């Protein structure tokens, strides 16, 4: 053999013994390597199929287990191998390995690392003996490298814990079926146990199974709408525990009319008084409520608060004073003097006034008294007559009174009677209506009073007229010689002075025509 030849040659070599030994070992190792290479090249090809992926290897092993050991392939207990490890290797027959996949399972407070052949979530739970009850939830997520396997459901949405799935959900998608990807990013399955609770709303009690953490999350998950005035027991922030009983007391809508406005609200109060108290509406004094305070609340009830206010008001009424005239012989006629200024009196009345919502509804007189007595106004009029002389174009005249009057003019034709009338052209005294006749108000200038009118001449009060009132005179002209007069004029009453009983000492102030001068 080759090794024997090498040994013989080394024996005849004269080098030191230690060196000859080292060389011999080196030569032996090389010979073994050459021998192993030859064996490897002469072994059979065996195909190892792992999760559908073929891996051909060359081996002289006779059993499946030896082939895998020589190939450095380790198996987990959950992996499936066909044929078995003790089975002989059959030429042309592949060795099939179906890897168990890693899964992290969180249930009932325990987190377990599992390898499984299951393809769905339900199969996995069945393998480990985890049963789900009514309302239990299964959450699925992929556990990436470095991710915290713990997650929180406190928000109620569960989004941070993955996706809510059913038992039929696949554990792996086709794209993630490769073993290396599976090991790097295994799925995380969380089973959330539902808690049995009861919900009472509008007289109906329902048993629910929920995984929500708080009462508010339960109601939100059930689509229960609440008004601010509704009462929930326990509170919305209360934690859910086994046997929690949620009761909703529904408020009812009412409207309250008060202080000029309408409040639309909802209330849990049983009586009207409670609804008013809820809105902070206080009754003061004689305020009233309809319906009354002890009336039971009904849905859509209209409540009206009437504000009642009373006040005492004092009103003042003037008492007019009287005006009296007294004769003053020291004053010339048509002259006046104030003797005593008049003063209004004052009457006070006290009323009790009741207002409903600012509107007066009643007024009651409670007292009345005279606060101030009126003072009579006293005026003095002159009764002293002074005869004077006035030079006129017609010669000097002697007069005892000058009066400013409004003058107009007329003729027999304009006096208001047709020519066929038996009294046509005659005055009140039966005189002919010609120049020199003056129509007057007899209560101011008595008939037959002689006067001088500047621009007209001497005239006598011998006629009257329906429109001749107060200090108003109408001057007569002959027919065919009419002159128009329409202005204020000073006239002079001629002597002799009539008896005092025939004199009107206080003349009226009317008519109030414009002062049109000639």
Coil, helix or strand at residue 37: helix
Backbone angles phi, psi at 504, to 5 degrees: -90, 105
Residue 1 has pLDDT above 70, yes or no: no
* pLDDT at residue number 184: 58
Instruction: In whole angstroms, give the CA distance from residue 511 to residue 275.
Output: 74
Residue 28 has pLDDT above 80, yes or no: no
Q: What is the mean pLDDT of residues 237-266?
A: 95
Asked if residues 80 and 117 have their Cβ atoms less than 8 Å apart, the reply is yes
From the list 110, 80, 214, the residue with the least C-alpha distance to 153 is 214
* 87 Cβ contact partners less than 8 Å away, ≥ 6 residues apart: 63, 64
Q: What is the mean pLDDT of residues 10-19?
A: 47
In 185-249, DSSP assigns E strands to 187-192, 195-201, 204-210, 231-233, 245-249
Q: Confirm or reject CATH 3.40.50 for domain 195-249, answering yes or no.
A: no
CA distances from 453 to 408, 412, 457 (A): 12, 20, 5
Higher pLDDT, 6 or 468: 468
pLDDT tens profile 338-350: 999 999 999 999 9
Q: Bridge partners of 70?
A: none
Residue 174 has pLDDT above 50, yes or no: yes
* pLDDT at residue number 162: 81
Higher pLDDT, 386 or 154: 386
* 428 Cβ contact partners less than 8 Å away, ≥ 6 residues apart: 439, 447, 462, 463, 464
The pTM of this model reads 0.53
Instruction: In whole angstroms, give the CA distance from residue 163 to residue 145.
Output: 19
Question: Sorting pLDDT into bands at 50, 70 and 90, what band is 6?
Answer: very low
Helix (H) or strand (E) segment spanning residue 94: none
Q: How is domain 385-502 classified at the architecture level of CATH?
A: Beta Barrel (2.40)
The gap between the terminal CA atoms of the chain, to the nearest Å, is 182
Q: Which residue ranges make up each domain of the chain?
A: 2-39, 45-98, 101-192, 195-249, 252-303, 311-381, 385-502
Q: Annotate 92-106 with b (16+ C-beta within 10 A) or e (fewer).
A: eeebbbebbbbbbbb
Asked if residues 101 and 188 have their Cβ atoms less than 8 Å apart, the reply is no
Q: Which of 63-67, 127-131, 154-158, 306-310 has the highest mean pLDDT?
A: 306-310
Residue 19 has pLDDT above 50, yes or no: no
Instruction: In whole angstroms, give the CA distance from residue 48 to residue 68.
Output: 8
Percentage of the residues of the chain whose pLDDT score is greater than 90 = 64
From the list 442, 450, 443, 457, the residue with the least C-alpha distance to 495 is 450
Q: What is the mean pLDDT of residues 416-422?
A: 89
Residue 295 has pLDDT above 80, yes or no: yes
Least confident piece of the model among 57-66, 232-241, 297-306: 57-66
Q: Same CATH fold, 385-502 and 101-192?
A: no
Q: Bridge partners of 190?
A: 106, 139
* pLDDT at residue number 518: 41
Question: Sorting pLDDT into bands at 50, 70 and 90, what band is 439?
Answer: very high
Question: Cα torsion at 424, 425, 427, 429 (round to 10°)?
Answer: -90
Least confident piece of the model among 120-124, 200-204, 265-269, 513-517: 513-517
* pLDDT at residue number 416: 84
The secondary structure of residue 295, as a DSSP letter, is S
Residue 31 has pLDDT above 60, yes or no: no
User: Which sign does the torsion angle of CA 329, 332, 333, 337 carry?
Assistant: negative
Give me the CATH code for the 45-98 domain, please: 3.10.20
A 10 A CB-CB count for 330 gives 11
Instruction: In whole angstroms, give the CA distance from residue 498 to residue 496.
Output: 6
Residue 149 has pLDDT above 70, yes or no: no
Instruction: In whole angstroms, give the CA distance from residue 194 to residue 125.
Output: 17
Considering only the C-alpha atoms of the chain, give the largest distance between any 2 of them, rounded to a whole number of Å.
209
Q: Confirm or reject CATH 2.20.230.10 for domain 311-381, answering yes or no.
A: yes
Residue 241 has pLDDT above 80, yes or no: yes
Asked if residues 211 and 139 have their Cβ atoms less than 8 Å apart, the reply is no
Asked if residues 243 and 235 have their Cβ atoms less than 8 Å apart, the reply is no
* pLDDT at residue number 510: 85
* pLDDT at residue number 5: 45
Q: Which two tokens stand for residue 293?
A: 């305070």
Instruction: In whole angstroms, give the CA distance from residue 36 to residue 30.
Output: 10
Least confident piece of the model among 22-31, 403-412, 478-487: 22-31
* pLDDT at residue number 37: 43
Least confident piece of the model among 42-56, 243-257, 322-336: 42-56
Residue 20 has pLDDT above 70, yes or no: no
Asked if residues 127 and 119 have their Cβ atoms less than 8 Å apart, the reply is no
Average pLDDT of the chain, as a whole number? 86
Fold of 101-192: Ubiquitin-like (UB roll) (3.10.20)
* pLDDT at residue number 327: 94
């Amino acid at each position: 053999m080759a090794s024997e030849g090498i040994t013989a040659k080394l024996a005849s070599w004269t080098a030191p013994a230690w060196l000859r030994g080292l060389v011999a070992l080196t030569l032996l190792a090389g010979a073994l390597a050459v021998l192993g290479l030859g064996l490897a090249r002469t072994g059979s090809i065996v195909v190892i199929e792992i999760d559908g992926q073929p891996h051909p290897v060359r081996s002289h092993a006779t059993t499946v287990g030896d082939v895998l050991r020589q190939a450095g392939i380790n198996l987990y207990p959950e992996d499936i191998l066909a044929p078995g490890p003790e089975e002989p290797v059959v030429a042309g027959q592949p060795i099939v390995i179906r890897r168990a996949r890693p899964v992290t399972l969180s249930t009932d407070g325990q987190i377990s690392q599992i390898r499984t052949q299951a393809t769905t979530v339900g199969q996995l739970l069945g393998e480990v003996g985890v049963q789900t009850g009514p309302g239990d939830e299964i959450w699925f997520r992929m556990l990436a490298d470095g991710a915290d396997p713990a997650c929180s459901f406190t928000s109620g949405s569960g989004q941070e814990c993955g996706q809510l799935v059913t038992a039929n959900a696949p554990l792996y998608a086709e794209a993630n079926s490769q073993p290396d990807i599976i090991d790097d990013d295994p799925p995380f399955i969380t089973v959330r146990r539902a808690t049995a609770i009861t919900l009472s709303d509008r007289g109906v009690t329902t048993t629910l199974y929920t995984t929500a953490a708080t009462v508010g999350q339960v109601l939100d998950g059930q689509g229960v709408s609440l008004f601010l005035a509704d009462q929930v027991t326990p509170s919305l922030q209360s934690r859910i525990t086994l046997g929690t009983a949620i009761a909703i007391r529904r408020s009812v809508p009412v409207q309250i009319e008060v202080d000029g406005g309408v409040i639309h609200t909802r209330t849990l109060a049983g009586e009207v008084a409670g609804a008013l108290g809820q809105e902070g509406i206080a009754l003061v004094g004689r305020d009233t409520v309809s319906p009354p305070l002890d009336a039971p609340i009904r849905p859509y009830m209209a409540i009206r608060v009437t504000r009642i206010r009373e006040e005492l008001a004092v009103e003042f009424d003037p008492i007019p004073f009287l005006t009296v005239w007294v004769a003053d012989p020291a004053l010339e006629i048509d002259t006046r003097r104030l003797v005593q200024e008049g003063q209004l009196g004052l009457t006070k009345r006290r009323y009790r006034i009741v207002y409903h919502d600012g509107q007066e509804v009643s007024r009651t007189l409670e007292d009345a008294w005279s606060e101030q007595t009126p003072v009579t106004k006293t005026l003095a009029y002159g009764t002293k007559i002074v005869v004077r002389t006035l030079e006129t174009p017609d010669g000097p005249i002697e007069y005892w009174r000058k009066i400013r009057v409004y003058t107009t003019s007329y003729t027999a034709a304009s006096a208001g009677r047709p020519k066929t009338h038996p009294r046509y052209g005659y005055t009140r005294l039966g005189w002919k209506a010609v120049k020199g006749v003056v129509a007057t108000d007899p209560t101011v200038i008595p008939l037959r009073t002689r006067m001088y009118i500047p621009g007209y001449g001497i005239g006598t009060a011998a006629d009257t007229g329906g429109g001749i009132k107060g200090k108003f005179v109408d001057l007569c002209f002959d027919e065919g010689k009419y002159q128009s007069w329409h202005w204020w004029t000073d006239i002079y009453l001629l002597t002799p002075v009539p008896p005092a009983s025939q004199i009107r000492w206080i003349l009226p102030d009317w008519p109030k025509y414009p002062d049109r001068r000639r």
